[in-house]
A and B are shown apart, each in its own frame.
Chain A
């Protein structure tokens, strides 16, 4: 049993970087990863922007040099790349006897290749290459990543739309706290697909100019892709390995908005409850939150609902906040983990990364996001100790999580 859950490794691949150092550089340079669609053919090609990972599927295959890799989906490959980096950064050996699990989140699984299959299948029931459909389901990418990492003590996959990977971090933390695992790789992976692009387009919530989170003139979200993973370890594991600790998971909450399948409630009930639960578990006072990495998709509905929930919870003292989706796009099932990595970088470097594309405050809210890179000034603390990260999804699946700085001496106590 471990009362505390430590973060000992992080890995990421997203539109602004193929690994953690590249991602950090782009964040510091306020460089967005949103651009034109290059990965697949679509009528939306020059109309809708995307935040693609700047690596083709064949380059990912080459880099990973995985036997049988030609069967893999982009979701699995992105996941292997990011989870591999997380495991390397935590520096554990597979054979050290600690019970190790993998919990991965995804919303599309192998859809990129199912699309190819379906085109052939619709022409002829014997058509379509089977190799393109056998990896369709969500569990496939997780098992490929587990195989790649040599993890076999516990494996599962979560899909709760855009909050998926926060729920993966929560489940992993619970498995460590109850002693079922000593260590767990948690996160998510989603590739951009024609399926999701068209799906979101039918809802008319894609911004043709790239997302403007928390801006009065916001016109929707921008889809992105990527994968990110954290390595979580128990107290015993960290002490035995004399690990460098990047932070800890200090609280989390999952609540349902129970309002509408795709729209958030006007009073932000689900968001309010998720944040309140996370704060309660952490035992922190709301004033101790130094930064909120908001869900902030850039849709009319989300940003208003989330903003109202923050004002309800924090009153006159809403902490500095920003949406980093202007950098990475909305990476759906990976978003919670992508933003977890960004939150940990924020703690590590004492920086609040800016909310890109913000110009005009929303008229319904008193609050406005941090819109320029802030290395600490009068209103913003130099030290980022506690970060709250929100991930809210379709179906009202809302989850919030708090990451905290960890002093070396507090681990030894």
Chain B
């Protein structure tokens, strides 16, 4: 377990400006939900940021916001998760080498390396401590959290900066649309569930958290446990996994006050969430968040932010309601996410 002592979120919502979960909701009719970028000069030396690509700037800004929020100046570890790293830089090189292999610019190659954000944050902080990057689809951020919790347990770190970063570009949207991942037309994010069609609404974001062994004065919640389950040839048994996961934490399904689901508007994916909720958590309050940030490999970063804000403020914002049930208490929130029924993940977050 670890306390969430600080949070920094760059997202398609007004999350940088807001103290706590934003009260004003951004409505879009768009191909994908794009981040509202902060004024980078507040976080990065303009001379340095000039050469940085967008994802790197968003990541560093979110990291710095979370550290200021937690009052943390030097973490014992920096861990990031990203499904695709800097897509913009990767595309730049792919397109350059297709045309000509001469006169290439080194900057996109350097920035395309998946660990660029965790190392850039280390360079800026002069932080020589543990540093790692996970790059496994929708397990990327969760793996970083598992590593963090293990380091807390092993007493090798007492303050960890952990982040979730992914971006979307028009080229990448075009390609992944052809694969069938996204809706083919622009959609209204607040009406995402009104017309259930194939494909999700794509998004992006940078979410950083300062986790602590001790809680600070402004702590949000307690990240109790995280579990990832791969479904290979039907190996995922939700009944067994959820009861073991809750059981290991001294809980059962009745103790969960609110279930935060990863619904993304894809008529092929969302029924899995409904079945899961009906089956194991009947009658419970259900929330969702991907209409606010879109779907991407590390979107649970936004989900964890929502859970932490709910537990800290003991307020359940209406924009997150997926059903009409109100949580009876603000003690235990379970976040459940899955990616194409292959990567399933649970996060247990507790109030205090």
Chain A residues in contact with chain B, CB under 8 A? Answer: 42-44, 106-107, 109, 114-115, 117-119, 121-122, 125-126, 128, 130, 133-134, 137-140, 142-143, 146-147, 150, 152, 154-161, 167, 171, 174-175, 177-178, 180, 194-195, 198-203, 254-262, 269-270, 273, 393-397
Contact = CB atoms under 8 A, between A and B. Distances in A.
A69 to B, nearest CB: 16
B130 A159 contact: no
A255 B129 contact: yes
A232 to B, nearest CB: 15
Given A114-B94, A115-B97, A146-B232, A160 B131 contact: yes
Nearest to A270: B128
Contact of A138 (B105, B114, B147): B114
B119 A396 contact: yes
B114 A199 contact: no
B95 A177 contact: no
A122 B130 contact: no
B235 A152 contact: yes
B118 A142 contact: no
Contact of B84 (A122, A125, A137, A257): A137
B309 interface: no
A174 B110 contact: no
Interface stretch (B11-19, B132-140, B284-292, B326-334): B132-140
A156 B114 contact: no
Interface string B3-47: 000000000000000000000000000000000000000000000
A195 B113 CA distance: 12
A413 to B, nearest CB: 23
Contact of B101 (A43, A122, A155, A178): A43
A91 B352 CA distance: 47
A341 B228 CA distance: 29
15 contacts: A119-B98, A122-B98, A137-B135, A138-B136, A139-B83, A139-B137, A146-B232, A158-B132, A167-B132, A171-B132, A171-B147, A258-B122, A261-B120, A269-B128, A395-B113
A198 B133 contact: no
Nearest to B156: A174
B342 interface: yes
Contact of A161 (B113, B175, B230): B113
Contact of A180 (B102, B130, B150): B150
Contacts of B102: 43
B93 interface: yes
A65 to B, nearest CB: 18
B275 to A, nearest CB: 21
A199 B175 contact: no
A58 to B, nearest CB: 23
B153 A178 contact: yes
Contacts of B118: 160, 395, 397
A122 B109 CA distance: 19
B110 A262 contact: yes
Nearest to A199: B109
Contacts of B119: 256, 258, 261, 394-397
Nearest to A147: B232
A140 B339 CA distance: 13
Given A122-B98, A201-B104, A259-B123, A139 B139 contact: yes
Contacts of A114: 94
Contacts of B297: 137
A137 B228 contact: no
Interface residues of B, number: 63
Q: Top 8 nearest A-B pairs by Cβ distance?
A: A395-B119, A199-B109, A202-B106, A159-B114, A139-B136, A139-B137, A157-B136, A138-B135
Contact of A42 (B95, B99, B101, B131): B101
A393 B133 CA distance: 12
Contacts of A44: 101
B123 A137 contact: no
Contacts of A255: 128-131
A254 B115 contact: no
Q: For B150, B153, B232, which residue has the most chain A Cβ atoms within 10 angstroms?
A: B232
Given A118-B95, A178-B150, 16 more contacts: A107-B113, A115-B94, A128-B175, A137-B84, A138-B135, A139-B140, A158-B132, A161-B115, A195-B94, A198-B93, A198-B104, A202-B104, A254-B132, A256-B131, A270-B128, A273-B128
Contact of B135 (A42, A134, A158, A258): A158
Nearest to B84: A137
B230 A107 contact: no
B178 A137 contact: no
A394 B113 contact: yes
Contacts of A254: 130-132
A203 B150 contact: no
Nearest to A126: B178
Contacts of B93: 195, 198-199
B233 interface: yes
Contacts of B99: 122
Nearest to A177: B154
B174 A125 contact: yes
Contacts of A160: 114-115, 118, 131-133
B348 interface: no
B159 to A, nearest CB: 15
Contacts of B233: 147
A6 B280 CA distance: 39
Contact of B123 (A115, A154, A258): A258
B222 interface: no
B105 A202 contact: yes
B202 interface: no
Contacts of A260: 123
A394 B110 contact: yes
Contacts of B58: none
B101 to A, nearest CB: 5
A109 B125 CA distance: 30
A201 B106 CA distance: 8
B300 interface: no
A36 B146 CA distance: 43
Contacts of A273: 128
A283 B147 CA distance: 23
Contacts of A393: 115
B127 interface: yes
Contacts of B133: 158-160, 397
B143 interface: yes
A199 B116 CA distance: 15
Contacts of B131: 160, 254-256, 395-397
A199 B94 CA distance: 10
B165 interface: no
Interface in B72-110: 78, 83-85, 91, 93-99, 101-102, 104-106, 109-110
A114 B95 CA distance: 11
A117 B120 CA distance: 30
B134 A157 contact: yes
